[in-house]
Amino acid sequence: MKGRGPESFSLRRDAWNRLIRNRMAVAGLLLLLLMAGACVIGPWISPYTYYEQDLFNTNAPPDRAHWLGTDELGRDLLTRILVGGRISFAVALAATLVSLVIGVTYGGISGYVGGKTDAVMMRIVDVLYALPFTLFVILLITLFERNILLLFVAIGAVEWLTMARIVRGQVMGLRRQEFIEACQVLGYSQARTLFKHVLPNVLGTILVYVTLTIPGVMLLEAFLSFLGLGVQPPMSSWGSLIKEGVALMEDAPGQMLAPSIALSLTLFALNFLGDGLRDALDPRRSEGAK
119 binds other proteins (CB under 8 A): no
- Work out how close the CB of 52 gets to other proteins at its nearest, in angstroms, rounded to a whole number: 26
Long-range contacts of 246-250 (CB under 8 A, 24+ apart): 248/59, 248/72
- 149 makes contact with other proteins (CB under 8 A): no
In the complex, what is the shortest distance from the CB of residue 269 to other proteins, in angstroms, rounded to a whole number?
9
Rounded least distance, CB 9 to other proteins, Å: 33
Residue 284 is a binding residue for other proteins (CB under 8 A): no
Q: Restricting to residues 224-263, which ones interact with other proteins according to CB under 8 A?
A: 226-229, 239, 242-243, 245-246, 249-250, 253, 256-257, 260, 263
- Shortest gap between Cβ of 42 and other proteins (angstroms)? 21
Decide if residue 132 touches other proteins (CB under 8 A).
Answer: yes
x/- mask, other proteins, residues 55-94, rule CB under 8 A, reads ----------------------------------------
Distance, C-alpha 47 to centroid of its chain: 30
Do residues 244 and 255 touch, judged by C-beta distance below 8 A?
A: yes
Please state, in angstroms and as integers, the Cα–Cα distance from residue 287 to each residue in 16, 176, 238, following that order.
Answer: 18, 28, 35
Query: DSSP string of 193-260?
Result: IIIIIIGGGGHHHHHHHHHHHHHHHHHHHHHHHHTTSSSPTTS--HHHHHHHHHHTTTT-THHHHHHH
Q: Of the candidates 11, 30, 119, 289, which one interacts with other proteins according to CB under 8 A?
A: 289
- CB-facing half-sphere around the CA of 185: CA atoms within 13 A: 7
Q: Using an 8 Å Cβ cutoff, are 262 and 85 in contact?
A: yes
Q: What are the beta bridge partners of residue 70? A: 76
Q: Which of 114, 234, 267, 282 binds other proteins (CB under 8 A)?
A: 267
Which residues here bind other proteins, judged by CB under 8 A? 126-127, 130-132, 134-136, 138-144, 219, 222-223, 226-229, 239, 242-243, 245-246, 249-250, 253, 256-257, 260, 263-264, 267-268, 271, 288-290
